[in-house]
Amino acid sequence: MDRAETLVATEMEVGARSDTGCVRENNEDSYRVAPELNLFVLSDGMGGLDAGEVASRLAVDTILEHCRAAEANPSLPLSGEHVEGVSSASNRLASAIRLANAVVYRAAQQATGDRGMGATVVAVRLADARMSVAHVGDSRVYRLRAGEFEQLTQDHSFVADQVRKGKMTEEEAGSSAMQNVLVRALGIDPTVEVDVSEELVLEGDTVLLCSDGLSRELSDDQIASVLREYDDAQRAASRLVDLAKQAGGGDNVTVIVLRHATKPTGAFARIGKWFKNSA
Amino acid sequence: MPKLVLKFENSVLKEMPVGSKEVSIGRSPENGLVIDNPAVSHYHARVFNEEGRLMLEDFGSMNGTFVNGQRVKMVTLKPGDSVGIGKHTIVVSESREMDGFATGNGGARPPAPKINETVMLDTRERREFLQKVAAVGESSQVAPSRLRVPTLIVRKGRTDQREYALNDKLTVVGKSGMATVKLKGWFAPKAAAQITRRDDQAYYIGAADKVPAVNGQPVLHPTKLESGDVILVAGVELEFVFRD
């Protein structure tokens, strides 16, 4: 299975691709690109049979639905506690993820037998120059700004916790057999703690959302060099997935690339435009 | 046999048992449980028994169906659940005569599902970790700093205030409308630098349109701010301190 699309959000160029990879039989990742909401969501499902696919799909669809409903009715109640120090858009995003947790949790309770069901989620929402970033699990958001590559999310995984506590080095974490153990995910408990943060969006910034199928196959440097090399967001997304598959493609790979295109600004640009219009 | 108790504010309007036949809910008089209110769709939702479980399904209603405050499409109901439709509430209650509608221990949540190996979640480790964080992190670090307000004091340059308390997760230094630390002057950048509070409750400064310097060192990667650090960006000098 291979899905690809190119869409243009407000001043944002978007590229996205999801691939089953070379080992797995089905794609348990789901993603949604909703430029009309400036919302970009990715989820990596877990669970036997088709449970992972169901979980990730429920997660992304619930998030979109809640944000869309809030767009129509801004007084729609928030699910869970109001987070202090962040915008209402960020609070809405966190609310949507808490709701997604409840939906996946209920689906897991209803699933027959004791096959578990869970999902990670990472979501980005843009409002002018402010970007809300929210996540649960080990799907990530990276940013490339002025050549500097940075991970904006902290994995909710066992090894990431060990590294943060100084009990494990980055290298040990990268080769650990415990890499796939999450300490937080959607669908496991009736409620979940959502990490939410805010970032500034500047012209020229590139933002990458990805499932661990990318970040486990490629190093940060490899990912950064693809984002530096390809100006086109869709081509960058496709190239990242191709490289992850070449490196083994052990898991499903999903990426969303957002690029705030650089526009000429300042007095000279305005004069240039004026000449064009008058010609 | 479970029953549905329709309430408005604190008064009980109607009670309806759910047997083998489903109970449809809506504004239209054909429904089993009629709620005559404009916030309710004509055919809003239904409650039915399936393999001994009581199910609730929302028919894609305009204003939604909520169970214990969360919007739902299709869920299993338990005794004690509160179903919100418009301004009405339907409480799920267990009639005295038992007939296989499992209640467990008086309506408490069922135990968490056993997690299959393929799910790759170790709940025991997760719980232990959360307990440790609660025991160590919260008491020794977070509590004392709560009393102290992270503050930027303007030492040089043109800004709209002399000092700024950092209350938000994102603080922008610049001329932009979203900036907290507002720079003045014709050539001030819209967004010179950004300061973010991360989940460790520490503050990190990073580059935006300008690369700020902290204690004379340019900041290429987001850098944690310590009390007493001096930030220089776009001709403005700011001191980061924790105010009591």
Q: Sorting pLDDT into bands at 50, 70 and 90, what band is A276?
A: very low
In the predicted structure, residue A77 carries a pLDDT above the cut 70: yes
Kindly determine whether residue B207 and residue A148, on different chains, have CB atoms separated by under 8 Å.
Answer: yes
Q: Sorting pLDDT into bands at 50, 70 and 90, what band is B128?
A: low
Q: What is the DSSP letter of A107?
A: H
Least CA distance to B63: which residue of chain A? A69
- pLDDT at site B137: 38
Instruction: Among A42-51, A166-175, A221-230, B149-158, name the one with the lowest average pLDDT.
Output: A166-175
Q: Which of A93, A164, A192, A198 is best to mutate for the B interface (most B CBs within 10 A)?
A: A198
In the predicted structure, residue B7 carries a pLDDT above the cut 70: yes
Q: How far apart are CA A128 and CA A59, in angstroms?
A: 25
Q: Which amino acid is at B65?
A: T
Q: Any idea what the Cα angle at residue B45 is, between residues A107 and A61, rounded to 5°?
A: 40
Q: How far apart are CA A74 and CA A60, in angstroms?
A: 20
Kindly determine whether residue A85 and residue B72, on different chains, have CB atoms separated by under 8 Å.
Answer: no
Residues in Cβ contact with B168 at an 8 Å cutoff, skipping those fewer than 6 apart:
A85, A86, A198, B180, B197
Q: If 0-12 CB within 10 Å is exposed, 13-18 middle and 19+ buried, where does residue B181 land? A: buried
Partner residue opposite A102 with nearest CB, options B70, B119, B130: B70
In the predicted structure, residue A234 carries a pLDDT above the cut 70: yes
Q: Sorting pLDDT into bands at 50, 70 and 90, what band is A273?
A: very low
Q: How many CB atoms lie within 10 A of CB A64?
A: 19
Give long-range contacts, CB 8 A cutoff, 24+ apart: A188-193: A188/A105, A188/A108, A188/A116, A188/A118, A188/B112, A188/B115, A188/B121, A188/B123, A189/A101, A189/A105, A189/B112, A190/A102, A190/A105, A190/B109, A191/A80, A191/A98, A191/A101, A191/A102, A192/A97, A192/A98, A192/A101, A192/A136, A193/A136
H or E element that contains A221: helix A220-229
Q: How far apart are CA B209 and CA B176, in angstroms?
A: 12
In whole angstroms, how large is the CA radius of gyration of chain B? Answer: 29
Kindly determine whether residue B194 and residue A189, on different chains, have CB atoms separated by under 8 Å.
Answer: no
In the predicted structure, residue A37 carries a pLDDT above the cut 80: yes
Which pLDDT tens digit goes with each residue over A166-186?
888 888 887 777 777 888 999
Which pLDDT tens digit goes with each residue over A97-128?
999 999 999 888 887 655 678 999 999 999 88
Q: Which of chain A's residues have a Cβ under 8 Å away from the Cβ of B83?
A: none
In the predicted structure, residue B231 carries a pLDDT above the cut 50: yes
Q: Which of residues 189-208 of B touch A (CB under 8 A)?
A: 190-191, 194, 196-199, 206-208
Q: Which of chain A's residues have a Cβ under 8 Å away from the Cβ of B179?
A: none
Contact yes or no for B190/B209 (Cβ under 8 A): yes
Whole-number average pLDDT of chain B: 78
A246 or A179, higher pLDDT: A246
Strand partners, A197: A133
Kindly determine whether residue B170 and residue A189, on different chains, have CB atoms separated by under 8 Å.
Answer: no
Q: Sorting pLDDT into bands at 50, 70 and 90, what band is A262?
A: low
- pLDDT at site A269: 44
| B114 and A CB contact within 8 Å | yes
Q: Which of residues 9-38 of B touch A (CB under 8 A)?
A: none
> Of the candidates A4, A1, A3, A2, which has an alpha carbon nearest to the alpha carbon of residue A234?
A4
Q: Any idea what the Cα angle at residue B133 is, between residues B129 and B138, rounded to 5°?
A: 170
Question: Which token pair is A130?
Answer: 């402010």
B186 or B134, higher pLDDT: B186
- pLDDT at site B30: 82
Distances (CA, A) of A210 to A61, A101, A221, A237, B114: 17, 19, 15, 10, 28
Which pLDDT tens digit goes with each residue over B190-229?
899 999 998 778 999 999 989 999 999 999 889 999 999 9
Q: Sorting pLDDT into bands at 50, 70 and 90, what band is A150?
A: very high
Q: How many CB atoms lie within 10 A of CB A81?
A: 13
Q: Which of chain A's residues have a Cβ under 8 Å away from the Cβ of B168?
A: 85-86, 198
**Helix/strand/coil (H, E, C) string of A16-58?**
EEEECCCCCCCCCEEEEEEHHHCEEEEEEEEECCCHHHHHHHH
Q: How far apart are CA B84 and CA A82, in angstroms?
A: 21
A148 or B111, higher pLDDT: A148
Contact yes or no for A59/A100 (Cβ under 8 A): yes
Could you tell me the maximum CA-CA distance found in chain B, to the nearest angstrom?
79
Partner residue opposite A199 with nearest CB, options B70, B75, B170: B170
- pLDDT at site A100: 96
- pLDDT at site A115: 60
In the predicted structure, residue A8 carries a pLDDT above the cut 90: no
Q: How far apart are CA B218 and CA B231, in angstroms?
A: 10
Kindly determine whether residue B118 and residue A66, on different chains, have CB atoms separated by under 8 Å.
Answer: no
- pLDDT at site B126: 46
Instruction: Among A158-172, B86-100, B123-137, name the one with the lowest average pLDDT.
Output: B123-137
Q: How far is B94 from chain A (nearest CA, A)?
A: 20
| B51 and A CB contact within 8 Å | no
> Of the candidates B84, B21, B81, which has an alpha carbon nearest to the alpha carbon of residue B47?
B21
Distances (CA, A) of A111 to A16, A101, A105, B23, B204: 31, 15, 10, 24, 43
Partner residue opposite B116 with nearest CB, options A48, A79, A202: A48
Kindly determine whether residue B199 and residue A154, on different chains, have CB atoms separated by under 8 Å.
Answer: yes
Contact yes or no for A143/A234 (Cβ under 8 A): no
Which pLDDT tens digit goes with each residue over B71-104?
888 888 988 889 999 888 999 987 654 333 333 3
Partner residue opposite B118 with nearest CB, options A47, A130, A199: A47
In the predicted structure, residue A2 carries a pLDDT above the cut 60: no
Kindly determine whether residue B168 and residue A118, on different chains, have CB atoms separated by under 8 Å.
Answer: no
Q: What is the DSSP letter of B216?
A: T
Residues in Cβ contact with B124 at an 8 Å cutoff, skipping those fewer than 6 apart:
none
Contact yes or no for B155/B230 (Cβ under 8 A): yes
Pairing of strands B23-26, B33-34: parallel
Which pLDDT tens digit goes with each residue over A189-207?
889 999 999 999 998 999 9
> Of the candidates A215, A202, A190, which has an alpha carbon nearest to the alpha carbon of residue A100?
A190
Kindly determine whether residue A188 and residue B121, on different chains, have CB atoms separated by under 8 Å.
Answer: yes
Q: Sorting pLDDT into bands at 50, 70 and 90, what band is A265?
A: very low
Whole-number average pLDDT of chain A: 87
Residue reference for tokens 């221990």: B105
Contact yes or no for A185/A120 (Cβ under 8 A): yes
In the predicted structure, residue B145 carries a pLDDT above the cut 80: no
Q: What is this model's ipTM?
A: 0.77
In the predicted structure, residue B23 carries a pLDDT above the cut 60: yes
Q: How many CB atoms lie within 10 A of CB B193?
A: 29
Contact yes or no for A93/A196 (Cβ under 8 A): yes
Partner residue opposite A202 with nearest CB, options B114, B121, B209: B209
